Structure 1
Amino acid sequence: MLISFLRCVFGKYLLIIHEIPETVSVSSSTAGYRSAKYTPGEWFSNYHTILQQAATDRGDAERIQRHSKTLSQDTEALTAQAQAEGTRLLGDRLQQIHYWKSELQQHIQQLQADTDALVAQKTRLERALDATEIPYAISTDNLTCRTRRPGPDLVRDTVEEELLKVSGTKLKSNVKGWSNRDAKKTLEFDWSDKFEAYSFDDLLCVCVFRMLVERVLQDTTRDLRVQCSSVDQAFSQRCDELIEAKTQLEIRHTEILDQIGAQERNIVALQQAIHNKEAPLRVAQSRLYTRTLRPNMELCRDDPQLSLEAEEKQIHASVASLQQQLSEARASLSYLEESRMTMEKDISCKTHSLFIDRDKCMTQRKRYPNVSTLSGY
């Protein structure tokens, strides 16, 4: 601590020495500057400050140590309790797995006997599933194309939400359309998925499964066609919004261009006005200088003198006002240019997005399959 104190004192002493001007002698430099030595009161104040800080640090350290000890004990107890609970739950789970394994084995044996009766129905279902590949591919391609929308137009709009619903319908049809043989294979590979096994067991009875397949085909066909109409409507609405936004931006862009031209002309006029003040200012200054040559008592502040001084001040004030206005005009022109570039970029974005949605996506959607194809015929 003593060493730190001495360093502090020595550092302040050097700082005082550096602050002494070089052109002043040592004897005269003491005037106006503090002596390098400190008073005993300052020495004791610094000493007690160091002691108080040390006591505070020691108290903080002891508090942290007590808290750390308590925390270690608490966490150790919690860890032991959690481990015991985990061991108990694992034991219960092992018993459940053993039970459900036996149950699933019985379901697998029952499913094997029903497989042959469902082959014909499965074939139709597979054709219907194959037909859903085209809507799914169209939707996927639409989503992929729309990822190339630039900048601010890359939004999750209604069109994208409707396209994602098409993907969901395709997935739902795949899940519902699993065949009996597929369910058996799934059960053999995944012994622990007991809930899915029970659902397959309920659905795969021969008479019930055939009705289910028919209902799934009808639901899927209806959902796909309804979703197709929703997507087409969303695309049409989005294209109208893009066209309207693009039109408004082009109108504002034209107005900004006109304003830029007007502001540029204003800047030129302000610069000319400032330039026009130079000649009168030189005249006034020349007259003032010439009148300083008047001899003796003639060198007085008469009315012409006062008028010339007022004229000079007025010209300086006018120039200052014009320069301030010129600065504001240049700043305004800069903002207008930024707005112009922003609008041009956004117009380009809207044009590109409109090309993607209207010319690519909506054109491709004409390949969407009809109801008969989606039904598996």
Structure 2
Amino acid sequence: MSSEVLVERPHYDSRAVAQGVPVREPRVELDVPLPSSGSATAGYRSAKYSPAEWFSNYHAILERAGTNRHEAGSIQRESRALYQDAEAATVKTQAEGTRLLGERLQEIHYWKSELQQHIHQLLADTESLLVLKTRLEKALDATETPYAIATDNLNCRARRLGPDLVRDAVEEELLKEVDLIRSVQALLKRTTAQVVSQIKTNREAKQTLELDWSDKYQAYSFDDHGGRCSNMSPDTQHHPSSATMQDQVCNSRSWTKFTQDNLSKAGQEEQATNSLRLLVEQVLQDTTHDLRVQCSSVDRAFSQRCAELIEAKAQLEMKLAQNLEQIGAQERSIVAIQQAIHNKEAPLRVAQSRLHLRSLRPNMELCRDEPQFSLEGELRQIDAILASLRQQLSEARGSLSQLEESRVTLEKDVSCKSHSLFIEREKCTTRRRRYPAVSTLSGY
């Protein structure tokens, strides 16, 4: 044969086929006839192989098959070692993960118990503060009665009459009591506001702990369920994206610090609650003691004032009785003086008549003899006695007028003292018997 036409065969990769890699089809080119020595033999030799090519082809196939077999055996040995190592590593890693999950469950349980303990403590503290708040409100309401009593006492004592309208020790003590009650009311209101604020803070801290406890409860449930999962669990599924690191995910240190900060805040609020509870108890005790002490001071002042009024009224009544007796005596004395003056009228007429008759004597008979001197002396004596009696009558009448004025003054003062004593004993002291007891002022 003068020339040979060779056609390229497609390349076949058995290894790629075994591994499942798709084989790329060879590019098909159009057969273009090659020039030959003669056109008559071109059609008989275009698709024929030579013996050498035939031997070369199947020897190459044998060699490729042997190579592929050796490579497959090597890959099988490597795969066997690989999946054995992978199985051991997987079992070890899974056991380590299970152990770590167990430790994590213990840690979550510990912090959950701590949170629950502080939640119960905050709840108990809040309940105790609510009880104290109720006591403060009751104590504040109880101060309205002493305030009404004190102001009513001041108003009643303002209706005292005349000289009894005095700013005495009772009024000073009542004004002190009014100021004390106002200051106690302001203190109770401020303390109540502090208790309300602490209750709000405790509830916020409790809510924070409850949210943290709820998160840990869910985390414990998830980790407990995950720790119970095994290779034989039927509810496991593929979650390819679960191992991807999420944004804003905390680490173990920040996780622990978050709970520790919450517990520290709760501990601070518990300490603040204890301090506030002691403060409230002390405030209620001090205010109750101060109010009762001031009430006792006012009552003592009222008792002393009533005793003074009773003593003054008794003295005035005694003096009034003496005055009335003296008025009676003076009136009788005036009547006696008037009778004495009246009794001198007859002797005066007699003396004056004698002198008049003797003044009618004629001529030398009209002399100043001894009877004349006696009659003139008698007349002068009667005139002097009458003048003295009239002067005494005037003085007695002036004294009687003064005694009458003193009587009126004494009667007015006795009436004033009686009115003041009625206000002190019947109005004020009786009203003060309604003063609240110690238990009521303490908010019980």
Pair 1:267-2:334 in alignment? yes
Q: Deviations over 1:168-208 (max 9, x none)?
A: 1111112323338979xxxxxxxxxxxxxxxxxxxxx8766
Q: Deviations over 1:217-264 (max 9, x none)?
A: 221100111111111222122212111111111111111111100100
User: Structure 1 pair 180/292, CA: closer, same or farther in 2 (3 Å)?
Assistant: closer
- Structure number with greater Rg is 2
Pair 1:148-2:215 in alignment? no
Alignment of 1:92-107 (within 5 A): none
Aligned to 2:171: 160
AA matched with 1:228: C
1:235 and 1:357 in contact (8 A); partners too: yes
Alignment of 1:60-99 (within 5 A): none
Pairwise CA distance, 1:213 = 3.4
Pair 1:337-2:401 in alignment? no
Structure 1: gaps of 5 or more residues: 1-116, 184-204
Match of 1:235 among 255, 278, 302: 302
Aligned to 1:244: 311
1:367 partner SS: coil
1:294 partner SS: coil
2:133 and 2:192 in contact (8 A); partners too: no
Percent identity, aligned pairs only? 70
Aligned to 1:295: 362
Q: Deviations over 1:279-317 (max 9, x none)?
A: 111111111111122222221111111111111111111
Pair 1:309-2:372 in alignment? no
Distance in 1, Cα, partners of 2:177 & 2:276: 25
Structure 2: gaps of 5 or more residues: 1-127, 195-271
Q: Deviations over 1:117-153 (max 9, x none)?
A: 9776544322211111111111111111112222122
TM-score by length of 1: 0.60
Greater Cα offset, 338-347 or 353-362: 353-362
Q: Deviations over 1:82-118 (max 9, x none)?
A: xxxxxxxxxxxxxxxxxxxxxxxxxxxxxxxxxxx97
Distance in 2, Cα, partners of 1:180 & 1:260: 68
Pairwise CA distance, 1:345 = 0.8
Match of 1:283 among 350, 365, 375: 350
2:146 and 2:436 in contact (8 A); partners too: yes
Distance in 1, Cα, partners of 2:143 & 2:425: 23
1:150 and 1:349 in contact (8 A); partners too: yes
Pair 1:362-2:373 in alignment? no
User: Structure 1 pair 375/306, CA: closer, same or farther in 2 (3 Å)?
Assistant: same
1:178 partner SS: helix
Pair 1:353-2:420 in alignment? yes
Pairwise CA distance, 1:265 = 0.5
How many matched pairs?
242
Distance in 1, Cα, partners of 2:170 & 2:362: 92
Pairwise CA distance, 1:346 = 0.9
1:169 and 1:220 in contact (8 A); partners too: no
Match of 1:322 among 389, 394, 397: 389
2:312 partner SS: helix
1:338 partner SS: helix
Aligned to 1:135: 146
Aligned to 1:225: 292
Distance in 2, Cα, partners of 1:178 & 1:365: 25
2:316 and 2:414 in contact (8 A); partners too: yes
Pairwise CA distance, 1:158 = 1.8
Greater Cα offset, 329-338 or 212-221: 212-221
Pairwise CA distance, 1:319 = 0.5
2:355 and 2:375 in contact (8 A); partners too: yes
Distance in 2, Cα, partners of 1:131 & 1:370: 9
Pairwise CA distance, 1:212 = 3.9
Give the aligned CA root-mean-square deviation in angstroms: 2.5
Structure number having the greater helix percentage = 1
1:221 and 1:371 in contact (8 A); partners too: yes
1:221 partner SS: helix
User: Structure 1 pair 299/256, CA: closer, same or farther in 2 (3 Å)?
Assistant: same
1:300 partner SS: coil
Alignment of 1:34-53 (within 5 A): none
2:351 and 2:375 in contact (8 A); partners too: yes
2:361 partner SS: coil
Distance in 1, Cα, partners of 2:192 & 2:284: 19
Pairwise CA distance, 1:214 = 3.2
2:136 and 2:192 in contact (8 A); partners too: no
User: Structure 1 pair 275/368, CA: closer, same or farther in 2 (3 Å)?
Assistant: same
1:287 and 1:308 in contact (8 A); partners too: yes
Distance in 1, Cα, partners of 2:337 & 2:295: 62
Distance in 1, Cα, partners of 2:153 & 2:191: 34
Distance in 1, Cα, partners of 2:191 & 2:392: 84
Distance in 1, Cα, partners of 2:274 & 2:357: 121
Pair 1:179-2:246 in alignment? no
2:433 partner SS: helix
AA matched with 2:355: L
AA matched with 1:278: E
1:145 and 1:361 in contact (8 A); partners too: yes
Distance in 2, Cα, partners of 1:180 & 1:223: 17
Aligned to 2:438: 371
TM-score by length of 2: 0.51
1:118 and 1:180 in contact (8 A); partners too: no
